[in-house]
Amino acid sequence: MNPRFLVPLAVFVGLVVVLAVGINHSRQVGVLQSPLVGHAIPQWELPMLTDPGRSLSSRELKGQWYVLNFWGTWCYACRAEHEQLLKAQRDARVQIIGVDWKDENAAALDWLSKLGNPYTQVVTDQDGRTAIDLGVAAAPESFLVNPEGVIVYKEPGVITPQSWQHEFLPRLPPQRGVPAPGAGS
């Protein structure tokens, strides 16, 4: 057989391979890969929900693992995530800092008293500046930050039992003391 007849076949196979790789590597619709993962979290300082006169900053959390969770009472998916956050709080492997994003303080306090408070601390980002500085596109989004202040993982959507199990927990050091959840908020 003339090997030249194999050329179209080879081109076709090549095309199939390219398209298959493209489809496999295509990002999930609506999910942005954060360029901040692996880098120091941009400095943030936000007022506390319960005491807006006081603030919490990334500097104060240096030396500790924490999850920074952006949420809002207007965010439907955050309600779906809440159960998992409460479970994660009970496991006490890492403290969860809530950022109530573009929200009313009263609504946020009401939400937490009704649904339970999974957060060690809750801060508010009413003008959304910090969210932009952290590349947040849509709530909920969460960052796992190590004691050096480096973002080691970003969850671009709802934290599910699966993502908690497979993305968050393996990155955390084996069981060690973390500040008791709920304290200080």
Partner 1 sequence: MRASITLAIVLVGLLGFTPPQRAWAVDPAQMSDPALQARYEVLIHELRCVQCEDNSLADSDASIAADLRHQIRDMLSAGKTDGEIKAYLVSRYSEFILFRPEYSWRNAWLWALPAVLLLLGVFVAVRVIRQRAALIDDDPVDDDAGVARP
Closest CA to 81 of 158, 10, 136, 134: 158
CB 118 within 8 A of CB 142: no
Give 56-96 as a DSSP string: EETTTTTTS-EEEEEE-TT-HHHHHHHHHHHHHHHHTSSEE
Q: What are phi and psi of 87, to 5 degrees?
A: -65, -45
Residue (79 or 102) nearer to partner 1, CB: 102
From the list 41, 78, 112, 134, which residue makes contact with partner 1 (rule: CB under 8 A)? Answer: 134
Measured from the CB of residue 165, what is the shortest distance to partner 1 in angstroms? 26
Residue (29 or 106) nearer to partner 1, CB: 29
Residue (74 or 91) nearer to partner 1, CB: 74
What is the spatial distance between Cα 119 and Cα 85, in angstroms, rounded to a whole number? Answer: 8
Q: Which x/- pattern over 16-55 shows residues binding partner 1 (rule: CB under 8 A)?
A: -------------xx-xxxxx-----x-------------
What is the spatial distance between Cα 68 and Cα 140, in angstroms, rounded to a whole number? Answer: 10
Interface with partner 1, residue 150, by CB under 8 A: no
Measured from the CB of residue 179, what is the shortest distance to partner 1 in angstroms? 29
CB 49 within 8 A of CB 124: yes
From the list 47, 50, 102, 163, which residue makes contact with partner 1 (rule: CB under 8 A)? Answer: 102
Number of residues binding to partner 1, judged by CB under 8 A: 20
Interface with partner 1, residue 76, by CB under 8 A: no
Adjacent-strand bridge partners of 125? 101
What is the spatial distance between Cα 112 and Cα 119, in angstroms, rounded to a whole number? Answer: 9
Residue (81 or 125) nearer to partner 1, CB: 125
Residue (4 or 114) nearer to partner 1, CB: 4
From the list 87, 129, 166, 171, which residue makes contact with partner 1 (rule: CB under 8 A)? Answer: 129
Binding residues for partner 1 (CB under 8 A): 29-30, 32-36, 42, 102, 127-129, 131-138
